[in-house]
Chains A and B, each alone.
Chain A
Amino acid sequence: MRSLRLPAALAALTLAVTACAGGGGGNGEGSGEYPRNETLYTTGTAWGPPANWNPFMQGQYAVGTVGLAYEPLFLFDPNTSEYVPWLAESDSWPEENVHEIVLREGITWTDGEAFDSADVVSTLEIGQFGSVPFSNLWNFIESVEAVDAQTVRVTFSESRPQEWMNWVYSHPIAPEHIWGEKTEEQIMSDVNEDPVGTGPYVYESHTDERLVWERNDDWWGTAALDYEMKPRYIVDLVNASNDVTLGMLQQGQVDLSNNFLPGIDQIINGNETITSFYDGPPYMQPANTAWLVPNTTKEPLNDPAFRQALAHSIDMQQIIEGPYSNLVEAANPTGLLPLWDDYIDHELVEEEGFSYDADEAVAILEDAGYQDQDGDGFVETPDGDPIALTLEVPAGWTDWMEASNVIAANAQAVGINIEAQTPEFDLLVDNRNSGEFDLIINNERQASNTPWTYYDYLFQLPINEQQTTVNFGRYENEEVWSLVEQLAAVPADDVEAAAEITSQIQEIQLAELPAIPLWYNGMWSQANNTYWTNWPSEAEGAPKSAATLWNGWWQLGAITTLATIEPAGE
């Protein structure tokens, strides 16, 4: 029986391991363990190991760097469309091109230094370095001065309050005594591993798989705003595969997941402890619009009639019920998010907006001279040239890959020859930026304080050799761009004046369709209520803030979610 010794030993090891795995789940406040009932476990934001905590390295900083550690002057509440004073106490516009911001008193940096107007001035001045992502502010800022310790006065050479207010709430203030003396190169490559901020959390530790924030018990907001941050620790895990995330969420190892998890609707319906914002479809709140972007420099996509026909050919319901199983909603024909409802000209949309109608698509094609002359089932251009277009989505983005197949099939059904392709993400970005594509799907612009950000995304001029962030379709229309610039100059709180301009923009937009709005991508957010409850939901009395750790959303009110969730069992 000699040869059975090893298997026996293995079996014993299995038992031992199972035993200690069972025993390891204790909840004591041991030295090496984060107490479960005071710790919030999150995932869904970090796609790679945490790399830096530098608030100026936009898009690369670790989860919570801006929001938990560094804070902006204001928040923007998308539910009320109001600016919520945060580091600032109040603001005023003494003249049309002068913005005066009064800061709260008694705020300190986590290293003990006082926060004052010099920090705001220095942060803005760092933007004068060309490689800082917000350096374009200095195209219209004339000067920034500290009137006194609590007051900052910003004077504009060109008045663009909508664009300016976007910076004010989305960008954080960094301490002058740490960042003020740094060179451009230091600022753009500083890892900044123990960030000194003003925020409710401080850096605790990190590994390649996770990042831990610990509550800052001296945070100014507890006294000034009566916000008490409930979780003592926030442990954010780097994204794993969907299966792993789903497993951890169901097992209660993760409290909040901000991943797109196909099939989550079944779990929300079947499991009492897993919740999302809505109890039924679409389950999630909208976060941004997914657009079908045609390259308007190429034939026949440069023809508005052709784009109209394409828009009419897409059966959005098929995409929503198919790849998304009702986790998203169709976008408004203007593409504006529901939070901008006041800016949508509903009458105009009623008359001019497109909707799925295959017959209409065929009719539009015929009227514009697109006919199938060679009998291959697909239309040719009025000159008789064959049309063969490709629709590119990144390889591996499964929901978009399926959606692109639906779009291609829909278009082929009305005679437009579109083929879906899935290049590597990198290659797609290269093609997109240099304008070497036919059609792509894109959703890079997020919800914000003003629809100006969406119109900037659609219409910005001039067209550069590389279009890296906006107007990928290279749509050139001076008239509408000047309207967008007028919109930027409307005072931030004047919704009526803004709506008047957006209505004019929409008239052109709906006629020209420089990009075709598809669906509202959800703010994927599913919570396990075993350890933390009172998550934001549609229910009456429940908080309505965003429950997400995505960059940019803290400033849209997600930070307050940390103060409203409750430990379970209390």
Chain B
Amino acid sequence: MWRYIGRKLFVYLLTFVIAVTINWMIPRFMPGDPVRSMLSRASVGNPEALQRMNDYYTGVFGLDTPLHEQYLAFWAGLLRGDLGVSVMLFPQPVLDIIMRSVPYTLGLLLPAILLSWIVGNRIGAFAARKKLLDNTILPVGYILTAMPYMWLALLLAWSLGIVAGVLPTAGGYAPSLRPEFSWLFISSLISHWFLPFLSMFIVALGGWAIGMRNMIIYELEADYSNYLQALGAPTRLIRRYAFRNAMLPQITGLAVQLGTVLSGALLTEIVFNYPGLGTLILQALNNRDFFVLQGTFLFVVVGVLIANFIIDIVYVLVDPRTRVQMTGGAA
């Protein structure tokens, strides 16, 4: 068991180091100088003044040292939790900016992923039992899962937001409110959260439902199901066994899907101008703020790695076979 976790940890650590290195390289080997583009916005006429401002800010961002020193400094900063200083929000630390956006993204992602997974599995399992439901849910599920996140988001924003006018289409809360702990503000938060959540929920739902339906049909035709049936076990019991077995590939699927769901979430945020990491990435891109970009990507990578790790452990706990195999292997 511990050897399994240890091995997994090593793989994740390696992935992390590679991800950080690539992450560090991207802004530094991309064309264009972040400091100069920041200064070009100031439209300074005097070339001497521009040179002095350039030198000053290059020093501030630590871009004047040799590359290997920059790389080591980046790791040192990373371990201290220091991701550098933002260009667009100079002189705010990148970490502060990201931490302001993270709650919004997590608030969207976690409910959307978990609820769609749970509900999708239930619907799928349900559909596998009833011909009529199967005939309706299956095609709907295929359409939903084939839908790009962004497109559904636009569709929802247009229909429920602009045409029906029931739900707000942009922002994290109404611009007429001051952030505070009041019913008015919280209800505004919820109503602004709902459409982005719904669009992610719906797209993810279809995939899980189809997967589950197929798995249940497969399991119900497996030998053990037939055997149980022959023994005269109640259908309820057989279905429960089938459901538990069908869950396992779905858990693996969750780990595999995380990355897709996450990028979908980033796009959805942009459509709804929701103040999470996706919108932050767009703003950072618009302002050539490589330091914020770098920090955000790092955050996303770490998040996906942690989530995968958790799923790995959950898998061991849920599936007795892996557990037995592992303890057997260790002995």
Q: A: which residues have CB within 8 A of B?
A: 3-4, 6-7, 10, 14, 17-18, 20-24, 30-34, 36, 39, 41, 47-49, 51-52, 57-60, 130-133, 135-136, 185, 188-189, 191, 205, 207-210, 235, 237-238, 240-241, 243-244, 247-248, 250-251, 253, 423-427, 429-430, 433, 444, 464, 466, 468-470
Contacts and interface: CB of A to CB of B under 8 A. Distances in A.
Given A31-B182, A247-B161, 11 more contacts: A10-B115, A17-B194, A21-B167, A24-B187, A34-B176, A34-B178, A51-B90, A189-B90, A207-B275, A208-B275, A426-B33
A444 B41 CA distance: 10
B28 interface: no
Nearest to B191: A21
A263 B92 CA distance: 38
Contact of B123 (A3, A235, A237, A469): A3
A470 B40 CA distance: 12
Contacts of A250: 162
A17 B41 contact: no
Contacts of B48: 130
A18 B166 contact: yes
Contacts of A208: 97, 100-101, 275, 280
A210 B33 CA distance: 28
Nearest to B288: A426
B149 to A, nearest CB: 15
Contact of B171 (A14, A59, A209): A209
A20 to B, nearest CB: 4
B37 A426 contact: yes
A14 B122 contact: no
Nearest to A28: B184
B309 interface: no
B125 interface: yes
A20 B166 CA distance: 10
Contacts of B42: 57-60, 133
Contacts, number: 204
Nearest to B129: A3
Given A210-B175, A424-B31, A468-B50, A32 B194 contact: no
B119 A6 contact: yes
Contacts of B30: 426
Nearest to A239: B286
Interface string B279-306: 0100100111100000000000000000
Nearest to A396: B286
B136 interface: no
A60 B171 CA distance: 23
Contacts of B101: 208
B61 interface: no
B199 interface: no
Contacts of A59: 41-43
Nearest to B47: A464
A39 B162 CA distance: 22
Contacts of B38: 60
Contact of B184 (A30, A133, A240): A30
A21 B164 CA distance: 12
Nearest to B48: A130
A251 B176 CA distance: 14
Contacts of B46: 130, 133, 135-136
Nearest to B119: A6
B256 interface: no
Contact of A188 (B45, B53, B178, B270): B53
Nearest to B181: A32
B157 A247 contact: yes
Contact of B283 (A22, A34, A49, A244): A49
Nearest to A35: B176
A567 to B, nearest CB: 15
Given A14-B194, A32-B184, A235-B175, A48 B47 contact: no
Nearest to B38: A60
Nearest to B290: A426
B77 interface: no
B44 A188 contact: no
A48 B286 contact: yes
B44 A51 contact: no
A429 B119 contact: no
Given A3-B122, A136-B46, A208-B275, A427 B91 contact: no
Contacts of A20: 187, 190-191
A131 B49 contact: yes
B31 A427 contact: yes
B14 to A, nearest CB: 32
B43 A444 contact: yes
Contacts of B44: 58, 133, 468-469
Interface string B85-99: 000111110000100
B43 A430 contact: no
Interface string B43-73: 1111111101100100010000000000000
B76 to A, nearest CB: 23
Contacts of A425: 32, 37, 288
Contacts of A22: 166
B208 to A, nearest CB: 12
A253 to B, nearest CB: 7
A135 B49 contact: yes
Contacts of B123: 3, 7
A205 B50 CA distance: 32
B188 A430 contact: no
Nearest to A34: B176
A238 B178 contact: no
B169 interface: yes
A528 to B, nearest CB: 14
B49 A430 contact: no
A33 B184 contact: yes
Contacts of B184: 24, 30, 32-33
A131 B53 contact: yes
Top 5 A-B pairs ranked by shortest CB distance? Answer: A426-B32, A21-B191, A59-B42, A240-B273, A3-B122
A507 to B, nearest CB: 27
A24 B174 contact: yes
Nearest to A445: B43
A315 to B, nearest CB: 32
A245 B96 CA distance: 27
A243 B115 CA distance: 29
Contacts of B171: 209, 237
B177 interface: yes
B170 A51 contact: no
A104 to B, nearest CB: 30
A163 to B, nearest CB: 10
Contacts of B52: 130-131
Contacts of B41: 59-60
Contacts of A136: 45-46, 49
Contact of B167 (A18, A31, A41): A18
Nearest to A460: B45
A152 to B, nearest CB: 23
B175 A10 contact: no
Contact of A21 (B50, B166, B280): B166
A253 B116 CA distance: 32
B172 interface: yes
A205 B178 contact: yes
